[in-house]
């Protein structure tokens, strides 16, 4: 234990006087804000995505799991929605999650709120299937679990009366390292030629899921500038994370590099709460000397008192320390598996742990998409005249300017990008979406910008596939369009309901 204490003190800098009382307080407040964003964003979409008349009803998944899995269903699908999954229950769960997030922000029962928030969000990721299967969804779950090793366990807001556990800090640093370092390294190890020849950013700005208008301008940069930006990406995602476990000065530089990278992503693409969550993790690299200069004096006095408590190597107790070490070891195994795809795996524990989505591998943009296909959905009353359903956020009308929508994530619009990368036959949720349009489901139509059939559902629907690219400056000046597009072909067959299906 003495050796462990000495190692922890060297790693987090407590031997040189670094304390993290203010850092913990800021991190937990920001984590509460992120949960608030996540639940409010989901709340306005939940009926259309997984409600009773939604695209992938939660009730249908749970009914099928009950019939096929028996008692195993509770282990494989750990969700509170076994108790009920009606539209009302789903909305109440979003409201409850929103409330718990506000209480976490207010520092009320922070440990209990984190447990409830994790359980509720896990429950939604289980029944949400494709619509809640993104890396930032599992990153939020893992962050919440690891934050349990850091959070002060008390009921009401109070001055810090417990030291910050060193292992709690280290676990969250390790998560930040795995997230950022893996995202950089997989760009080299997965064999994508655009990352190897430094041309990835020739495609990224217009091929990413939901570009912003600033991405159009970034796409106009000269080729040498975009090549240099790819090299900078490698430095920021592979080199700077190595500084996390160095001296205090190195950690501050590592934090600055990580924050800069996230701000660049934030300003050119819509990635909901992902950038904020990564920045929150990076903020834990800043000790109280930094936060003491940034926060108002009243906050510093309330949180830290006259002197912040030092980091405590034994702050978790024996059981907590054992659990923290186990989490560190399992996360390390998953990290190695991510970096070396195809290597022999140590999968025994993960068979039981994977359903909880809280020990994950990461690696964003390991393969760059070099084309942009967009699906346009149309309806018709007679099979001859077709009218287009416009989505709220994804590219459609070439003249519509790409917008900023973060931190909200329109999950249907996001999945439409993934659907365009795969054939209709293997995109299992897409026929369900078309079926809801034929039924005129108000919940699903509420996810769209416009309904071209306001008085009655169409008799037929179809989906066409288009190739999209950012317009050149010359094309934009001539037409006013942000995009150019050309028809590739049909994506889906023409569908209609059988008699009695409406």
Question: Which residues have CB under 8 Å from 104's CB, separation 6+?
Answer: 28, 29, 31, 32, 35, 110, 113, 114, 117
What is the pTM (predicted TM-score) of this model?
A: 0.95
Residue with tokens 């976490």: 104
Please say if the pLDDT value at position 224 is more than 70.
yes
Q: State how far the Cα of 436 lies from the Cα of 430, in Å rounded to an integer.
A: 10
pLDDT tens across 25-66, in order? 999 999 999 999 999 999 999 999 999 999 999 999 999 999
User: So what's the pLDDT on residue 346?
Assistant: 65
Q: Which tokens in the block code for residue 489? A: 């072909």
365, part of any domain: no
Q: What is the DSSP string of 369-414?
A: --S-EEEEEEEESSSSS-EEEPBSSSS-STTSPP---TT---HHHH
Q: How many other β-carbons are positioned within 10 Å of the β-carbon of residue 448?
A: 17
Residue 386: phi and psi, rounded to 5, are -115, 140
In a domain, 29, yes or no: yes
In a domain, 498, yes or no: no
> Residue 444 domain-assigned?
yes
Q: How far is CA 257 from CA 28, 242, 252, 265, 278, in A?
A: 22, 11, 9, 13, 12
Q: How far apart are CA 174 and CA 169, in angstroms?
A: 9
Tens digit of each residue's pLDDT (9 = 90 or more) over 161-203:
678 899 999 999 999 999 999 999 999 988 899 999 999 999 9
Are 174 and 313 part of one and the same domain? yes
3 state DSSP class of 293: helix
Last residue of a domain, one of 330, 356, 382: 356
Residue 454 lies in a domain: yes
The pLDDT mean for the chain works out to: 93
- Long-range CB pairs of 404-409, under 8 A, 24+ apart, other chains included: 404/212, 404/213, 404/270, 405/210, 405/270, 406/266, 406/270, 406/271, 406/272, 406/273, 406/275, 407/37, 407/41, 407/272, 407/273, 407/276, 408/37, 408/41, 408/272, 409/41, 409/134, 409/270, 409/272, 409/273
Q: Within this chain, do residues 381 and 332 fall inside the same structural domain, yes or no?
A: no
| Local confidence band at 6 (pLDDT 50, 70, 90 cut-offs) | low
Structure token pair of residue 28:
């937990």
- Asked if 380 and 429 sit in the same domain, the reply is yes
Looking at the structure, tell me whether residues 340 and 377 fall in a common domain: no
> How many whole angstroms separate alpha carbon 204 and alpha carbon 214?
13
What is residue 74's predicted lDDT score, i.e. its pLDDT? 95
Stretch (H or E) spanning 484: strand 483-490
Q: What is the pLDDT at residue 330?
A: 94
- 374 or 13: which leads in pLDDT: 374
In a domain, 58, yes or no: yes
Residue 156 confidence (pLDDT) = 86
Helix H or strand E encompassing 467: strand 460-470
211 lies in the same domain as 251:
yes
Same domain, 312 and 419: no
Average pLDDT on 92-101 reads 98
Per-residue pLDDT for 92 more than 90?
yes
Q: Where among 322, 356, 390 does a domain terminate?
A: 356
Neighbours of 489 (CB within 10 A): 7
Q: Is 417 left (phi over 0), alpha (psi -120 to 50) or beta?
A: alpha
Indicate whether 66 and 199 sit together in one domain.
yes
The Cα 439–Cα 496 span in angstroms is 10
Q: What is the pLDDT of residues 391-450, one digit of tens each?
A: 999 999 999 999 999 999 999 999 999 999 999 999 999 999 999 999 999 999 999 999
pLDDT of residue 420: 97
Residue 329 to residues 77, 151, 325: CA-CA distances in angstroms?
Answer: 25, 21, 6
Pair (380, 352) in one structural domain: no
The pLDDT value given to residue 161: 64
User: CA angle at residue 334 from 188 to 173, to 5 degrees?
Assistant: 85
Q: What is the mean pLDDT of residues 373-380?
A: 98
Of the listed ranges 4-18, 231-245, 301-315, 463-477, the one predicted with least confidence: 4-18
The total number of structural domains in the chain stands at 2
224 plus 333 within the same structural domain: yes
How far, in Å, CA of 87 to CA of 355, rounded?
24
What's the confidence (pLDDT) of residue 348?
73
> What mean pLDDT comes out for the span 256-274?
96
pLDDT of residue 338: 83
Higher pLDDT, 363 or 96: 96
Residue at 77 is within a domain: yes
Distance of CA 284 to the CA centre of its chain: 19
Query: pLDDT per residue over 310-363, tens digit each?
Result: 777 667 888 998 999 999 999 999 998 888 766 555 677 888 899 999 999 998
Residue 113 lies in a domain: yes
Cα–Cα dist 295/281, whole Å: 18
Backbone angles phi, psi at 459, to 5 degrees: -85, -30
Residues 327, 168 contacting (CB under 8 angstroms): no
Radius of gyration of the chain (CA): 24
Same domain assignment for residues 335 and 390: no
Identify the H or E element spanning 464. strand 460-470
**Single residue among 310, 327, 356 that ends a domain in this structure:** 356
pLDDT, residue 190, reads 86
Q: Count CB neighbours of 222 within 10 A.
A: 8
End-to-end Cα spacing for the chain: 67
Mean local confidence (pLDDT), 447-455: 95
Q: Give the pLDDT confidence score for residue 42 in this predicted structure.
A: 98
Residue 1: per-residue pLDDT: 55
Domain that holds residue 457: 373-490
For 55-76, the pLDDT digits (tens) are 999 999 999 999 999 999 999 9
Do 411 and 326 reside in the same domain of the chain? Answer: no
In the structure, what pLDDT confidence band is assigned to residue 7 with cuts at 50, 70 and 90?
low
Burial class (CB in 10 A: 0-12, 13-18, 19+), 297: exposed
225 in the same domain as 326 = yes
Task: Spell out where 208-363 has E strands.
Answer: none
Burial of 83 (0-12, 13-18, 19+ CB in 10 A): exposed
The whole-number average pLDDT for the span 94-120 is 97
Beta bridge partners of 495: 461
Share of the chain above pLDDT 70, in %: 94
Query: Measured between alpha carbons, how far is 49 from 429 in angstroms, rounded to an integer?
Result: 10
Q: What is the pLDDT of residue 99?
A: 98
For residue 263, pLDDT over 90 is answered with yes
Sign of CA dihedral 340, 245, 349, 3: positive
């Amino acid at each position: 234990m003495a050796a462990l204490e000495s190692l922890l003190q060297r790693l987090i800098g407590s031997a040189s006087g670094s304390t993290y009382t203010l850092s913990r307080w800021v991190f937990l407040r920001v984590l509460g804000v992120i949960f608030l964003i996540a639940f409010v964003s989901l709340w306005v979409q939940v009926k259309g995505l997984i409600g009773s008349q939604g695209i992938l009803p939660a009730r249908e998944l749970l009914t099928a799991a009950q019939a096929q899995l028996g008692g195993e269903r509770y282990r494989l699908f750990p969700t509170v929605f076994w108790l009920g999954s009606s539209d009302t229950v789903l909305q109440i769960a979003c409201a409850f999650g929103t409330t718990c997030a506000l209480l976490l922000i207010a520092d009320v029962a922070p440990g209990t709120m984190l447990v409830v928030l994790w359980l509720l969000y896990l429950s939604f990721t289980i029944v949400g299937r494709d619509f809640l299967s993104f890396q930032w969804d599992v990153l939020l779950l893992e962050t919440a679990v690891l934050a349990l090793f850091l959070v002060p366990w008390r009921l009401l807001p109070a001055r810090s009366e417990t030291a910050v556990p060193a292992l709690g800090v280290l676990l969250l640093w390790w998560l930040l390292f795995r997230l950022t370092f893996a995202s950089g390294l997989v760009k080299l190890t997965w064999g994508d030629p655009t990352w190897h020849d430094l041309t990835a950013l020739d495609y990224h700005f217009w091929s990413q899921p939901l570009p912003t208008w600033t991405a159009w301008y970034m796409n106009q940069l000269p080729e040498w500038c975009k090549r240099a930006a790819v090299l900078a990406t490698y430095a920021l995602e592979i080199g700077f994370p190595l500084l996390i476990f160095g001296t205090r000065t190195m950690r501050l530089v590592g934090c600055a590099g990580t924050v800069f990278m996230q701000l660049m992503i934030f300003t050119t693409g819509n990635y909901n709460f992902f950038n904020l969550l990564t920045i929150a993790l990076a903020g834990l690299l800043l000790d109280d000397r930094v936060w003491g200069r940034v926060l108002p004096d009243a906050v510093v006095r309330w949180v830290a008192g006259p002197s912040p408590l030092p980091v405590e190597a034994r702050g978790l107790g024996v059981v907590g320390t054992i659990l923290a070490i186990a989490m560190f070891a399992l996360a390390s195994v998953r990290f190695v598996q991510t970096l070396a795809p195809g290597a022999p795996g140590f999968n025994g524990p993960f068979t039981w742990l994977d359903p909880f989505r809280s020990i994950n591998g990461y690696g964003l943009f390991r393969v760059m998409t070099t084309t942009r296909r967009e699906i346009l959905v149309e309806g018709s009353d007679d099979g001859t005249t077709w009218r287009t359903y416009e989505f709220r956020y994804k590219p459609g009308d070439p003249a519509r300017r790409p917008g900023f929508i973060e931190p909200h994530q329109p999950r249907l619009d996001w999945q439409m990008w993934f659907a365009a990368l795969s054939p209709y036959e293997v995109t299992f949720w897409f026929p369900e979406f078309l079926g809801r349009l034929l039924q005129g489901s108000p919940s699903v139509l509420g996810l769209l910008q416009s309904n071209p059939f306001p008085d009655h559902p169409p008799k037929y629907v179809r989906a066409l596939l288009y190739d999209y690219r950012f317009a050149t400056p010359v094309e934009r000046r001539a037409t006013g369009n942000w995009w150019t597009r050309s028809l590739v072909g049909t994506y889906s067959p023409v569908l209609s309901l059988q008699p009695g299906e409406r």
